[in-house]
Structure formats: C-alpha cells, structure tokens
Chain A
Amino acid sequence: MGAILEVKGLTKRFSGLVAVNNVSFRVGEGEILGLIGPNGAGKTTIVSLISGTLRPTSGVLRFAGREIQTLPAFRRAQLSIGRTFQVMKPFPGLSVVDNVAVGALFGSGGGHSDLSGAREAARHWLDFVGLAHRADQHADSLGGPDRKRLELAKALAMKPKLLLLDEVMAGLNLVEIDEVIEVVKKVRAEGISILVIEHVMKAIQRLSDRLMVLHHGEKIAEGHPDEVLNDIHVIEAYLGRRRV
C-alpha cells in the first residue's frame, strides 16, 4: 500500500515548549489512521503542521510523493489536503450552503469557477453529512452538533485526498456519534485517506485501521487498534492515570 502522507522527524517548538517532538508516521492510501493522546499531547498541532496552518520547526512532510513542509496552507489545500478545526471555524455571516460552497470554489485543484456549480456541490455535501435541511440558515444559528457536521461538509467539499479530522465527535451524544461514524465510513468508501483524532474510544476502535498514541509531543505507541488500546490500559494501570 502506497503512502499518501509520510511524516519524518516532525518537530514544533513554541518558544521553549516542544509541542511535537520528532514524530514520524505514515498514512496509507485509503487508510484511516487514528490518533489519540491526552489533552495537550500535541494532536491538534500535528494537524496544523500538516495543513499548513503552522510551520514546523523541523521535519519533512511528503504528500503524494511531494515535499510540502514549505508550502503555504492554501497550496496544500489545492493539492487536496482538507482539515476540520477542533475549535470550529464556521464563516458565521454566511449561510450554511455558502460556507460549504467556499470549499467547492477553492479546494482541491482550485475547485469550481462558478458560484451556482459550487452551491450545487455544497448541497450534495450537506446532504452527505445530514445537514441539508439547514442549508439556507445562517451558520451562526447552528447548534454544536450541527456545527461539527458543517466543519465536515466544508472540508469534504474541497474534494480532499487526505482528510484530517480533529475531534469532530466531541460534545455529541451517542446517537449523533453513531451518525458521524457512518459518515466517516462513507467518506472512506469514496477512497479518501483519513487521519482521525478522537477521545471517543468506541469511534476510534470502529474506524481506525491503525492507531497511534501521542504523549507530551512524542509518539509512544503505534499499531493495531486492539493491541494499542490494550497496551494503553496496561500503561494506565501502571501509572494510575485515566483518560489517555
């Protein structure tokens, strides 16, 4: 299986604090890689380094065989890397459908050139995530769960080859979590590779092909989800700490 993303020796320093420390991993073509770790482990920072929101202190990022660590965020988006934000970033003054249309207008390969085509595509993705009935409302009138769906639809409308999901299930109830799990499975069925960050263990277990654990910015485990989760329980018991 070829790798869509290869990360080598990725490091990010914030004036003294090392948020990500020499992390290497790969995401296979069509694979779902789970990423877990306690709050502050550096998960969101890794997503920002891959999407270009942050620049790495050192390390190499190779996407579809091409080095991207020096490219600005918009170029990486055009190369078809999509992300969601844990702290959601809707365009509050725009309607829900126009929020998503921005992804269709720009996104992968430069996207649609006309507004009506982009809006049509946006409606498709709203339907895909189960938000079609809210299409014409203002984004700032959406509640928490629907905002999560909107984040997802915005990223999908970019037609990404690699999708980075940063806690899209946080704050959802069990029914909603099941719905989003189904959506993510549908996304994978479209051939999109996914890096998924989640605290919801059930979701991580059901979705991930492989799982990686981050702690204090360092990778401490990687492998088959069942084995890794098993190891984590051992570690937790040993250290007497909850919530990895």
Chain B
Amino acid sequence: MRKALPWILPPLVVVILAALPWFASPTIIQFGISTLILATLSQSWNIIGGYTGYASFGNSVFYGLGIYGTAVAMVQFGLPFWVGMLVGGLLSVVFAVLLGLPVLRLRGHYFAIATLALAQVMSAIVSNVQVAGGNQGLVLPLFRGDKMFYELALGLLVLATLTVFWLSRSRFGFGLISIREDEDAAAVMGVNTTYYKVIAFALSGVFTALAGGIHAYWITFVEPESAFDITLNVKMIIMAVFGGPGSVFGPIVGAFVLQSVSEILATKISSLAGLFFGLVIVVAVVFMPKGLIDLRKRIGRLGWRYFTRNVKENRL
C-alpha cells in the first residue's frame, strides 16, 4: 500500500489540476497557464540537458520558432490555430536536425556557447523578415478562453512528462543517459551517439515549440525580442536544475516551486523580489546541487548531513 501511493499520485494531481479552472479565480488560472507553460519548457529542456547532458541555450530558439510558426500561419495565411502549432513543431524539428548535426559535435561549454549564439542570430533574422512582421511583430486574432489555454498547456505538460517517463525506462533513454555519463564509453558500447543526440534535441524542440504556440495565441502579440528571449532559456535551466535534472518530475516541481516563490515575492516586496529569487537559487545550488527530487529521496536517511555532504563534495 505504501509502495502503491507514488504511482497513484501523478494521475491524481493531473485530475485535480484539470478540474482547477472550474473553481479557481481568473488570476489563479492565468498564473496556472504561465506556470504550466514554464513547466513544459523546463521538462523539454530536461530531455536534452538533464538526460543527454547537453546544456542547451538554444531552446529559446525552439520557443521562438513555435511562437512565430503559429503567429505567421494564423495572421499571414489565415490558418487555424492547430495548423499553426503544427508549423511551429515542424520548424523546430527541421532546426534541431539541421543545426543539431554540427552543433551537437561540440561538448561542454562549447555547445552552450554555440547554442547561445544561435538564439541571438535567430532573433536578428526574424526582426528582418517581412512575413514575420519585422521589428513591429504580429498581432494574433483574439480568443477569450483561458480555460482552453489552461487545459491545452496541462495536456502538453502531461505529454512531455509521459515522454520523459518513457525515457527513464527505455533502451532509447538509456542511450541518452550513457551519452551524458560518458560519451566515449557510450560509443564503444554501441550507442549511435550522433543519432541519439539529434533525436533528443528534436524531441526537446517539439515540446518547446508547441508550448510557444500556445503562448503566442494566449498572449495574442508576438515580437522577436521576447520570442527569442535568452533569459527564458536561463529560467528553464534554473527550474530543471532546482527541481532535479535527469528525473521525471524534478523540472515540474522546480517550475511550480520557483514560480510560486517569485509570485509571492513580487506581490510582497516587489523591489527586492529579483534579489531574493537569486538568493534562493544560489543557496539551492550550494546545498542541494542535485535538486529537490534528490533531496526528498535522501534527506530521510541522511538528515542534516545531506547538506553538509553536498557542500563538501562540491568543495565549496
């Protein structure tokens, strides 16, 4: 019975979250939509960053492609929303394969820097493309239906999480994990590392782009700077790392906890909110570098030693 509880918990949480819009205030629903989208972004980053070990700063490009794919399809071509999402998703796959092939050869910091540069380049390109509205951006048709956006965002998060759950217990996922742990050893054991990395990048990209599509239609206004915003990429990473990278639920927990903290701080002490937020993260990284999920697993056994051991192991 005690063992069965964790298995019942995730579907139960999903049901409760799905029912929420029928009880909660519009403010809560809006908070829910943005948090669910962030959790999806963090979970998507988890596939390439947490499981495969490639710290991507290029996921904001996928997000931007999802936003612009949807916006251009709807505004310039009058296509329905779901077709726009499809366009954004396809663009991100093409991008993941075309740019992943060269960029995923780079390791460590070099990969991070290369993807960071890509995000800047894409923002500049889109600013100069006529069909994307240039610097002015695009205004999407207005659709008042926060309930729908909420349920869509929840559905996408569930889909992304099911994918990550599958990764955690499949041959494919083990291939990714072995690449993260030691790419040379993975290769001589038979893992087609290039193929695995590109697929992981594309999977990460598709979910990120779909989240971008939902965001675009919800916000109804898109412009290059916010669509390809690198600070959003940093946020995905912080949430995933805070919650527990390479775990199934860590990035979601990270997103919900940090979003709640920053929301509370923003209403209570708006001027110092940023500072506090930064402080929470620094303390978290120092005392629990493997995230909340790891903390929950081991604090029972180790108690306070859990923190001192982390500090020692990381030679801080």
Contact = CB atoms under 8 A, between A and B. Distances in A.
Looking at chain B's contact residues, the main secondary structure is helix
A102 B174 contact: yes
A7 to B, nearest CB: 18
Contacts of A91: 177-178, 181-182, 185
Contact of A92 (B181, B187, B189, B191): B181
Contacts of B180: 93
Given A101-B174, A113-B171, A114-B171, A77 B188 contact: yes
Contact of A105 (B174, B185, B187, B192): B174
Interface in B184-204: 184-194
Contacts, number: 83
B181 A103 contact: no
A89 B182 contact: yes
B189 A107 contact: yes
A105 B184 contact: no
B191 A106 contact: yes
A25 interface: no
Contacts of B185: 85, 89-91, 154
Interface string B162-186: 0000000111001101101110111
B190 A154 contact: no
A105 B192 CA distance: 12
Given A53-B187, A77-B190, A158-B189, A115 B171 contact: yes
A73 B187 CA distance: 6
Contact of A94 (B169, B170, B177, B188): B177
Contacts of A118: 171
Nearest to B191: A106
Nearest to B187: A73
A93 B188 contact: no
B81 to A, nearest CB: 38
Contacts of B192: 72, 74
Contact of B188 (A73, A98, A105): A73
A110 interface: yes
B182 A158 contact: no
User: Which of A52, A91, A108 has most B Cβ within 10 Å?
Assistant: A91
User: Which of B174, B175, B177, B190 has most A Cβ within 10 Å?
Assistant: B190
B52 to A, nearest CB: 13
A112 to B, nearest CB: 8
Contacts of B177: 91, 93-94
A151 to B, nearest CB: 9
Nearest to B180: A93
B188 A53 contact: yes
Interface in A151-178: 154, 158
A102 to B, nearest CB: 5
Given A91-B182, A94-B181, A101-B174, A111 B187 contact: no
B191 A53 contact: no
A185 to B, nearest CB: 24
A158 B187 CA distance: 12
Contacts of B191: 74, 102, 106
A142 to B, nearest CB: 14
Nearest to B169: A115
User: Which of B175, B191, B194 has most A Cβ within 10 Å?
Assistant: B191
Contact of A98 (B170, B174, B189): B174
B178 A102 contact: yes
A51 interface: yes
A83 interface: yes
Given A53-B187, A77-B189, A105 B171 contact: yes
A102 B189 contact: yes
A78 interface: yes
Given A113-B171, A115-B170, A106 B189 contact: yes
Contacts of A115: 169-171, 174
Interface of B: 169-171, 174-175, 177-178, 180-182, 184-194, 246
Given A82-B188, A103-B190, A115-B174, 16 more contacts: A51-B188, A72-B187, A74-B192, A74-B193, A77-B188, A89-B182, A89-B185, A90-B181, A90-B182, A91-B178, A93-B246, A94-B181, A102-B174, A102-B175, A102-B178, A118-B171
* Those 9 A-B pairs whose CB atoms lie nearest each other, nearest first: A106-B190, A91-B181, A77-B190, A89-B185, A73-B187, A89-B182, A102-B178, A107-B190, A74-B192
6 contacts: A51-B188, A72-B194, A77-B189, A98-B174, A105-B175, A108-B190
